[in-house]
Amino acid sequence: MLNEKPRRLDYVEKVKLRVGDLRAGMYVCELDRPWLETPFLLQGIEIKSDADIEMIRRYCDYVYIDLERTKLVRIDIGAVPVTSYTNETWLVSLEREIEQASSARENTSNLVKSFIQEIQFGNSVDIQLAKAAVSECVASVMRNSDAMMFMTQLRSKNEYVSEHAFNVCIYAIVMGRLLGLRTWELENLGTCALLHDMGTVRVPDAILNKPGKLTGEEFEVIRMHPGWGKDILMSGRNLFTGTVDVAYAHHEAIDGSGYPRGLKGTQLNQNSKIVAVADRYDAIISARPYRKARDHLGAIGVLNKMATAGHLDGDLTTTFVSYLGIYPPGTLVELSTGEVAIVLETNPHNRLKPQILVIRDRFHNPVERYVDMNEVRTGDPDRLYRITKVSQADEIGIELAQYKDAILRAMG
């Protein structure tokens, strides 16, 4: 039914498994790399023979097994931790969480704006206030991460610094949750992520927002912002040294090619490595005066290349990219019908068919219509209702932030 609100999706329990431990009867629901980088046509593989295992081994070191669709009576996973896309016992539906996520985003972004003003006036920032705001974000991510991930896509052209801080915070919390970090660890990580780029406040706008290529001298000024961030946070009230470490190290690289100190992977703490991945992803998908934004699929391709080259932590990058999938919440997509839609919620059983909100009809007129792509076909019985393209908002004259109220009304 096209005009009904989206139903709550079933949940999928999964376990991480080495490829060498695969057995016939297991159902692979996720790889350690994007499906598009492999020759597998379907988003899921039932292991039927050793040949299937060998084919997977050519591309993957480990995979995730869907317990519900696995036909084995018992899976021996040893010490491999059990995770899930969501957990029905402590997460709420997207419909219930979207309002809380919106409130957390607004509060956190406003706090970052106030910090920017304080720094510009030469004052220190109260890091305890940041931790309180991040605590609200962590609670929302724990209840339903899709709601918060949707919030990261509501971008405004004139609020890059505050939105970038919020987005990196959420991405880092999500990664930390995937790694099994405890709540207080997630709050510390999120605080580090929220404040990681405070040093950019001291970069002159003429350089930070320059539409053309930076000169060597201008780039050297940019490279100073991690040190400025360290100094700003060192002078802050209720000092948390973890934020200082991450602000100073988030542009370091695993292979030692980063700045400002040329540290290598073993010299970097986990929070710095996590924030580095989150920071790069958000920077790539954000439009800047000197370059256009990349779409989601292009961004994860860049992340994978950076990890392969030794600039980012490979395991953390794989974890994050695998979580994001093909169409994360908030992705703007074009459909086979000629319509334009926003992805609202992923479908763990078929990630090529998420729940969406159609916002433009095939004649580009504004509409508001929910569609569960897993259940709907077009009027043409020979053609599936499918996504044909991932788009950037500015390419088709859409600002996703304009649809926030419509989403809240419909999902509330």
As a whole number, the mean pLDDT across the chain is: 82
| pLDDT of 36 strictly over 60 | yes
| pLDDT of 323 strictly over 50 | yes
Q: Which one is predicted more confidently, 90 or 298?
A: 298
Q: Which one is predicted more confidently, 249 or 397?
A: 249
What's the pLDDT at 34? 78
HEC string for the chain? CCCCCCCCCCCCEEEEEEHHHCCCCCEEEEECCCHHHCCCCCCCEECCCHHHHHHHHCCCCEEEEECCCCCCCCCCCCCCCEEECCCCCCCCCHHHHHHHHHHHHHHHHHHHHHHHHHHHCCCCCEHHHHHHHHHHHHHHHHHCHHHHHHHCCCCCCCCHHHHHHHHHHHHHHHHHHHCCCCHHHHHHHHHHHHCCCHHHHHCCHHHHCCCCCCCHHHHHHHCCHHHHHHHHHHCCECCCHHHHHHHHHCCCCCCCCCCCCCCCHHHCCHHHHHHHHHHHHHHHCCCECCECCCCHHHHHHHHHHHHHCCCCCHHHHHHHHHHHCCCCCCCEEEECCCCEEEEEECCCCCCCCCEEEEEECCCCCEEEEEEECCCCECCCCCCECCEEEEECHHHCCCCHHHHHHHHHHHHC
Burial of 213 (C-beta count, 10 Å sphere; 0-12/13-18/19+): exposed
Peptide bond between residue 366 and the one before it cis (omega within 30 degrees of 0): no
Place 14 in a pLDDT band, splitting at 50, 70 and 90: low
Q: Which one is predicted more confidently, 398 or 72?
A: 398
Mean pLDDT across the stretch 301-305?
Answer: 91
**Domain 94-324 fold:** Hypothetical protein af1432 (1.10.3210)
Residue at token pair 């932030």: 401
Of 113, 208, 105, whose CA–CA distance to 166 is shortest?
105
Confidence (pTM)? 0.75
Of 76, 87, 81, 71, whose CA–CA distance to 12 is shortest?
87
What's the pLDDT at 349? 65
Place 4 in a pLDDT band, splitting at 50, 70 and 90: very low
Place 6 in a pLDDT band, splitting at 50, 70 and 90: very low
HEC string for 99-161? HHHHHHHHHHHHHHHHHHHHHHCCCCCEHHHHHHHHHHHHHHHHHCHHHHHHHCCCCCCCCHH
User: Which residues of the chain does CATH 1.10.3210.10 include?
Assistant: 94-324
Q: How far apart, in whole angstroms, are the C-alpha atoms of residue 133 and residue 398?
A: 29
Q: How far apart, in whole angstroms, are the C-alpha atoms of residue 400 and residue 392?
A: 10
pLDDT tens digits, residue range 50-96?
Answer: 788 888 888 887 788 776 677 643 443 333 333 333 333 335 777 77
**Which has the minimum average pLDDT: 49-58, 95-104, 258-267, 347-356?**
347-356
Q: Which of 14-23, 96-105, 339-348 has the highest mean pLDDT?
A: 96-105
